[in-house]
A and B are shown apart, each in its own frame.
Chain A
């Protein structure tokens, strides 16, 4: 098939560095880095007041038990895996008023770190913006999100991997 043959020749010739990186396993790290840069650029343009925090600093705050981690993803995504000790605060539920934020986070000065799926998603950023609008003034965004945290070997929780009984208890009781 000439289309496939020509596509292989043209695609291979024009993208050989990308292909080499892909085979070496470096491509995913490059993609994550690119997405993080784009997320930071977007934040600078749209949400100038929001600050980012790097993984090492976030881990230090985590170890010192100073910061509260907020997972902006949906409940099923949170149930699959999340940063150990993080609270699930889906951005949609917050915007729609399904969550009474003053009950969940009564201290407006608490040090909060929001996150989502990493550079590819911006709901961690949007959650930070929403909280900022509601008077919380000590918020950072973990741009690398849970994939970066997990890749660094930092503590994660995977509720779905626990026993069925425990899952039912934690979810519905």
Chain B
């Protein structure tokens, strides 16, 4: 159990999830219409919901990813990411039950079906996100390191 409290494990998971969401969100910002098409393919939402989701969610993904990488507002960012993952989990499960053969729209340019494998992967990411939220350890982060360098006397206070 001591491993769960390891600063470097926390950093690694944060960088992994943050990087993944940065990678997932950036192409969607550049191709909002393509992401809107992916949401439309689920055949569950009316036009206004598709538009709102396509316009805002990629920015939430990118900003939350950046926050995790930089170690800023980590709990809030991981909570947001968990909410996005839970929503996707529900959508993927509905699509799998309905037998839809559609791209999940998770990563632009990468073919990934909304099937049971995607659900398993999503659950793994959700576990990582909960880990970041629950074991909130910010001793190792770019921001903390900058603060340490600028205020060496307050080294202990940061910990």
A residues lining the B interface (CB < 8 Å): 1-4, 6-8, 10-12, 14-15, 18-19, 21-28, 30-31, 34-35, 74, 76-77, 120-121, 123
Interchain Cβ contacts under 8 Å between A and B, 22 examples: A1-B80, A3-B63, A3-B80, A4-B60, A6-B63, A8-B59, A14-B29, A19-B51, A19-B55, A23-B51, A25-B48, A27-B50, A27-B51, A31-B33, A31-B36, A34-B37, A35-B37, A74-B99, A74-B101, A76-B99, A120-B41, A120-B102
**Complex interface: chain A residues within 8 A of B76 (CB):** 1, 3
User: Complex: how many Å from CA A25 to CA B48?
Assistant: 7
Binding site of A, secondary structure by majority: helix, strand, loop or mixed? helix
A18 near B73 with CB under 8 A, answer no
Chain A residues closer than 8 Å to B52, beta-carbon distance: 19, 22
Given contact pairs A22-B55, A27-B50, a sample of 11 additional A-B residue pairs in the complex whose CB atoms are under 8 Å apart:
A1-B76, A2-B73, A3-B60, A3-B67, A4-B80, A8-B56, A18-B51, A22-B47, A22-B54, A24-B47, A120-B102
- Which residues of B13-63 have CB atoms within 8 Å of chain A's CB atoms? 29, 32-33, 36-37, 40-41, 47-48, 50-52, 54-60, 63
The answer to whether B64 and A23 touch across the interface, beta carbons within 8 angstroms, is: no
> Could you say which residues of chain A place their CB within 8 Å of the CB of B40?
28, 31, 120
Q: Is B77 an interface position by the 8 A CB rule? A: yes
Q: Could you say which residues of chain B place their CB within 8 Å of the CB of A120? A: 37, 40-41, 102
Q: Known: A31-B37, A34-B37, A120-B40. Contact between A12 and B47, CB under 8 A?
A: no
Contacts of A27 in B (CB 8 A): 36, 47, 50-51
User: Inside 8 A of B50's CB, which chain A residues have their CB?
Assistant: 22, 27-28, 31
Q: In the complex, which residues of chain A have a beta carbon less than 8 angstroms from the beta carbon of B64?
A: 3
A6 CB → nearest B CB, Å = 6
Query: Would you call the interface of chain B mostly helix, strand, loop, or mixed?
Result: helix
Residues of B contacting A25 in the complex (Cβ-Cβ under 8 angstroms): 47-48
Which single residue of chain B is at the shortest CB-CB distance from A121? Answer: B101
Complex Cα distance, B14 from A153, in Å, reads 51
- Hey, which chain A residues are within 8 Å of B55, CB to CB? 11-12, 14-15, 18-19, 22
B55 to A: closest C-beta gap in Å: 4
Query: How long is the Cα–Cα vector from A12 to B29 in the complex, in angstroms?
Result: 12
How distant is the Cα of A25 from the Cα of B60 in the complex, in angstroms? 24
Contact: B51 with A21, CB < 8 Å? yes
Q: How far is the CB of A81 from chain B (nearest CB, A)?
A: 12
Chain B residues contacting A76 (CB-CB under 8 Å) are 99
A18 touches B33 (CB 8 A): yes
Residue of B nearest to A7 (CB): B59
Q: Which one of A12, A23, A28, A77 lies within 8 Å of B56 (CB-CB)?
A: A12
Contact partner of B77 (CB less than 8 A), chosen from A3, A8, A23, A77, is A3
B132 shortest CB reach to chain A, Å? 14
A21 proximity list for chain B (CB < 8 A) = 47, 51
Q: CA separation between A30 and B50, bound complex, in Å?
A: 12
Quick one: which of B69-116 are within 8 Å of A by CB?
73, 76-77, 80, 99, 101-102
